[in-house]
Structure 1
Amino acid sequence: MIDHVQLAIRYGRIYSLMHRVLDRRMVAEGASLARTKMLHYIANNAPVRAADVAEWFDLAPRTVTQAIDTMERDALVIRVPDLVDRRAKRLDITDKGRQVLRQTEPLRRELIEQAFSLLTEEDFGDFARILDRLELALETRVETGPGAGSIGGRTGA
């Protein structure tokens, strides 16, 4: 019998291990994984509200504000006026921020390649389908709140 809890623990452990290895390698290069992830989000969604960043990463607004203040001080992001709400500010990435992303991208890609190159094409396809099913289950059953069903059931995907 498959133990779902143990499988979930292993999945989390692998994710955490990849995260720790990448963070250590970035720190050795003078970068930060947390900062890089936030810069990626801002770059891909700019101009973005700080509240959107906090929601995406499930962080307290104060934590995000402190991180953004530091990135702004380091000239990685800039606060720009919100075109809809004149009182509000949005975040955009600077050229220096883009340069930081370009410098850290090879480390990220190398780690991903090392981890996933062990999979055959068939393994990779199976894994992608499994992730699709897990994502669908989480989005439709967990995100919709109480009474939406349990994660343990099967999906039609």
Structure 2
Amino acid sequence: MLDIDQMAIRYGRIYMRLHRLLDRRMAAEGASLARTKMLHHIANNAPVRAADVAEWFDLAPRTVTQAIDTMERDALVVRVPDPADRRAKRLDITDKGRQVLHQTEPLRRELVEQAFSLLSDDDTMHFARILDRLELAIETRIEGDTVPYAGA
């Protein structure tokens, strides 16, 4: 019988190794993985509140504000009025921000494809099903939702 605690540790270690490798390779190209991830989130959810960005990445609001200030200074994002609250601002990505994402995407894709290229199509489909089950278990059992998982 496999030790699930060891499997969880290995899964985390593999994720962190891939994450660090991607960060190093992006840094060598003059990009930042943290900035790119934040830009992706803003692009996919724009216009988004800074508080939502902080919550998504589990970061302190001040940390996100500093990152946004830098990205705004570099013309990657812009603060826009919140239509529901005149006092609040939301974030949107600029054309320059989209260009940065477009430039870094091939490197990210290349590294991910290299990492997963050893898996057959069947392995990939099986892994996707496992990830779906793990994600659902976390959402329904661990985070407190009471909806039972049918595969249990």
TM range (shorter): over 0.9
Give the equivalent residue in structure 2 for 1:138. Answer: 138
Give the secondary-structure state (helix, strand or coil) at the position aligned to 1:88. Answer: strand
Q: Does structure 1 residue 101 correspond to structure 2 residue 101? A: yes
User: Which runs of no fewer than 5 residues in structure 2 stay unpaired?
Assistant: none
Could you tell me which amino acid in structure 1 is paired with residue 57 of structure 2?
A: F
Give the root-mean-square deviation of aligned CA atoms.
1.5
Give the secondary-structure state (helix, strand or coil) at the position aligned to 1:87. Answer: strand
Contact 1:137 1:155 in 2 (8 A): no
| Alignment TM-score, normalising by the size of structure 1 | 0.92
Alignment of 1:5-154 (within 5 A): 5-144=5-144
Contact 1:39 1:93 in 2 (8 A): yes
Take 1:155 and 1:122, find their aligned partners in 2: how far apart are those partners?
Answer: 23
Deviations 1:1-51 (A, max 9, x none): 221110000000110011001000100010000000000000000000000
Deviations 1:99-157 (A, max 9, x none): 10001000100011101111011111110110010000000011117xx6xxxxx8517
Take 1:142 and 1:97, find their aligned partners in 2: how far apart are those partners?
Answer: 36
Could you tell me which amino acid in structure 2 is paired with residue 141 of structure 1?
A: R
Deviations 1:52-107 (A, max 9, x none): 00000000100000000000011000000000100000000001100100010001
Take 1:114 and 1:134, find their aligned partners in 2: how far apart are those partners?
Answer: 24
Aligned length: 151
Could you tell me which amino acid in structure 2 is paired with residue 18 of structure 1?
A: L
Take 2:76 and 2:107, find their aligned partners in 1: how far apart are those partners?
Answer: 19
Give the equivalent residue in structure 1 for 2:4. Answer: 4
Structure 1 segments of 4 or more deviating over 4 A? none
Take 1:121 and 1:30, find their aligned partners in 2: how far apart are those partners?
Answer: 34
Could you tell me which amino acid in structure 1 is paired with residue 118 of structure 2?
A: L
Distance change in 2, residues 1:140/1:43 (3 Å): same
**What percent of counterpart residues are identical?**
81
Contact 1:133 1:155 in 2 (8 A): no
Could you tell me which amino acid in structure 1 is paired with residue 151 of structure 2?
A: G
Could you tell me which amino acid in structure 2 is paired with residue 58 of structure 1?
A: D
